[in-house]
Amino acid sequence: MDLFAQPTPREMFLGMCLFALYLFFIFTVAVYTFRKGRIVLGILGIFFPILWLIGAVLPAKENSRYDIEQKMRYEQQIQQYTR
């Protein structure tokens, strides 16, 4: 068994796909986790990406960026429907 053997094309393709999936998570789920105010889960998610998914599913913390934007959106909808 040679540890430094050249990877097969299938292994290269799988590695590129997994790396692309990881980048996708960084730019979507990780950002969503940070916007919800889950800073610790966002940082730990770099090493354990499942924590990003948990942080994205949990409710937003009070006065986080996501919470403030959601409250403003609800107020706009209420004003729009009460005209």
Domain boundaries, given as residue ranges, for the chain: 9-81
Overall average pLDDT of the 49-77 stretch: 91
Overall average pLDDT of the 54-67 stretch: 91
Provide the pLDDT confidence category of residue 82 given band limits of 50, 70 and 90. confident
Provide the pLDDT confidence category of residue 27 given band limits of 50, 70 and 90. confident
How many Å apart are CA 43 and CA 49, to the nearest integer?
10
Q: Look up residue 56 and give its two tokens.
A: 């994205």
- Cα 73 to Cα 28, 35, 69, distances in angstroms: 21, 16, 6
Question: Quick check: pTM over 0.75?
Answer: no
